[in-house]
Amino acid sequence: FFSMGYFKGKKILITGGSSGIGKACAEYTLKDGAHVMIIGRRKELLDTAQMELRKVAAEGQKVEILQLDISDEAAVNAAAPKVLETLGGLDILINNAGIANCGYLQNETADNYREMMNINYFGTVWVTKAFTEHFMVQKHGHIGFTSSVLGLMGLFGYSAYAASKFAMTGYADCLRMDLLKYNIGVHVCFPPDTDTPQHAEELKGMPAETKAVAGQIKMMAAEDVAKAFLDGMAAGTYHIVPSFGNKLTMWAVRHLPGISRFFIDRDIKSVWTVESDVPPVTAESVQQKKLQQDALQTEQTSGSEAALSSIAPPKDCAPATEEAHEAKSVPEA
């Protein structure tokens, strides 16, 4: 942990700070002498985290909490002056709050995509915008983002999550250039699968195809990710990629994309059986497909019924039944 001493006396705001990587960042910077405020949506988790974090703080250090839904732009703007007043300023903003879900594409709803973007992307933007003018006037400080390895590559089952993290990565890329003349450091951390309560929830609905790929990657402890993030921030590193294995994966995806896709696709296909060579479909998607087929059949027969009545339909062209679809589906792991 090479950045010890760098954060002494600094005023730090961490979103998503009640657990996981955010809480670990709070703990390490408090041990280094910083003043910290953590943001979260659940008051009970914030209270517990504050109690635990106070145990590592010295007398006189601030350990503050703020219950806030960062996807609410108006609430974020209203809270910003209070944050600055409580902390006595702001030197470092760590945008760590985020949610994830993993599942088959056909099971994703419009609400899944909206929620992912509202918190992971727009929530991050609202918080950053609320303090950008403060940093510009101050002409020093750091703004950090906890993205993901899926902020630079896609993965089976993560269409909603990866899209929100790609958006965050693009925003941070522009922000870095916009703030160059103001001497504000911008940093993006790309952790792999991390041992957090959120990841434990993801595993409950994770498709077998995703596990076949993700199982190749060693999970990191939240504390190790936090150390790498803070070290990179202190060193002025823009893209922070924890662990050698993660660096190797990111390098391969960037410089050998075709080869990377070959091995990823191979792992995905490995869970499909000879009899069931396509991903499973849900009852809803089967019903939707049947309705589409019925509508098409009605359209085709709405012309001259007399002319069609003399033609017997070929046996092998009968509409696929729900049972036929289910027979081709792959059972979920």
| Per-residue model confidence as pLDDT tens for the chain (333 residues) | 557 799 999 999 999 999 999 999 999 999 999 999 999 999 999 999 999 999 999 999 999 999 999 999 999 999 999 999 999 999 999 999 999 989 999 999 999 999 999 999 999 999 999 999 999 999 999 999 999 999 999 999 999 999 999 999 999 999 999 999 999 999 999 998 888 877 777 777 789 999 899 876 678 999 999 999 999 999 999 999 998 988 998 899 999 999 999 999 999 999 996 444 455 555 555 455 456 555 555 554 444 444 334 434 444 444 443 333 333 333 333
Domain spanning 11-271: CATH superfamily: NAD(P)-binding Rossmann-like Domain (3.40.50.720)
Give how far Cα 100 sits from Cα of 235, 283, 294, Å.
Answer: 29, 24, 37
Q: Which residue in the list 158, 165, 171, 227 is annotated as catalytic?
A: 165
Q: Containing H/E element for 295? A: helix 283-301
Q: Is there a catalytic annotation at residue 161?
A: yes
Structure tokens belonging to residue 23 = 């809480």
Q: Is there a catalytic annotation at residue 19?
A: no
Each domain of the chain, given as residue ranges in start order, spans: 11-271
Helix axes of 20-31 and 43-54: crossing angle, nearest 10 degrees: 30
**184 — alpha (psi -120 to 50), left (phi > 0) or beta?**
beta
Query: Which are the contacts of 121, defined by CB distance < 8 A and separation ≥ 6?
Result: 164, 167, 168, 171
pTM over 0.85: no
Q: Which residue in the list 161, 164, 171, 227 is annotated as catalytic?
A: 161
Answer yes or no: are the C-beta atoms of 207 and 104 closer than 8 Å: yes
Q: Which residue in the list 147, 148, 158, 164 is annotated as catalytic?
A: 147
Answer yes or no: are the C-beta atoms of 47 and 23 closer than 8 Å: no
Q: Is there a catalytic annotation at residue 329?
A: no
